[in-house]
Amino acid sequence: MENQERQAELTGFWYSEWAFVIFVAMLSAGIFAGTHMYYVYHIGAFNDIAIVAMLEGGIKTGAYGAAAAFGASFLFARVLEGPLVGILDIGGSLQTGIGIGVPAMLLGMGVTAPLTSFPLALATGGLLGVIIGTIIVLIRKYTISGNSSTFGADVMMGAGNASGRYLGPLIIISAAMASIPVGLGAVIGAGLFYVWQKPIAGGAILGAMLLGAFFPILIK
């Protein structure tokens, strides 16, 4: 009886994939609203001082290219990393991407309304969160031949840059458990990135994806 109740709980809405989309939307709405607070009142951004300084430099000079490129690149990388690794780095994807990258791009295009209006900032952040969460769910759903789980690891949120440095070995182990070619790709990629003095987690992911494209994992 307890097992049945536990199973029913795990299959409820708050354990579903679309609840994840709601969580991402709520976080994104709050983070974008925080950037609105900073843009209007110069306080409230959910980012490191150095990253906020990039946006501040754009506000003062009108050149938003550095902040936009930095934030957008983090957003793109973390959105791809989340469903494949099973961990969504809130700091890189949402705080940097939604909080700095997207606002910088909007300001660079002369669009200021989402950053001057608090309700519009909440709506814009929420919509962006829905889009990001949906993309992550869809990527996860259609990777590894549509399997419903990334080798037993659901998408978790909260790993920051400080803890991300320890993900490399875990990614390699997970890739090796998936298949030998994918594991070799992760090892080779991590080794190359180590030689180039780059984070090995990125090399392991790229290597696993590269060989995974040539040696797909078939799951029935």
- Please state, in angstroms and as integers, the Cα–Cα distance from residue 208 to each residue in 78, 89, 179, following that order: 16, 19, 10
Q: How many residues does the chain have?
A: 220
Per-residue pLDDT at 18 exceeds 70:
yes
> Which residues does residue 157 pair with via DSSP β-bridges, in sequence order?
88
- The string of pLDDT tens digits covering residues 132-154 is 989 888 877 776 545 554 444 56
Q: What is the mean pLDDT of the segment spanning 208-218?
A: 76
- The string of pLDDT tens digits covering residues 27-77 is 999 999 999 999 998 888 888 788 888 898 888 888 898 889 888 888 888
pLDDT at 5: 55
Tell me if residue 143 falls in helix, strand or coil.
coil
Share of the chain above pLDDT 90, in %: 25
Tell me which residue of 125, 80, 119 sits closest to 98, measured CA to CA.
Answer: 125
Q: Strands, E, within 60-194: which ranges?
A: 87-88, 156-157
pLDDT at 78: 80
Q: What would the two tokens of residue 202 be?
A: 């990125």
- Please state, in angstroms and as integers, the Cα–Cα distance from residue 191 to each residue in 42, 170, 188, 194, 200, following that order: 43, 14, 5, 5, 7
| 73 Cβ contact list (under 8 Å, min separation 6) | 101
Q: What is the mean pLDDT of the segment spanning 147-166?
A: 55
pLDDT at 100: 92
Spatial distance between the Cα atoms of 172 and 112, rounded to a whole number of angstroms: 43
Q: Which residue has the higher pLDDT, 53 or 80?
A: 53
| 211 touches 182 (CB < 8 A) | yes
Q: How confident is the model at residue 196 (pLDDT cuts 50, 70, 90)?
A: confident
pLDDT at 150: 44
Displacement of CA 115 from its chain's centroid (Å): 22
Query: Average pLDDT over the chain, rounded to whole?
Result: 80
pLDDT at 47: 83
Q: What is the mean pLDDT of the segment spanning 185-212?
A: 84
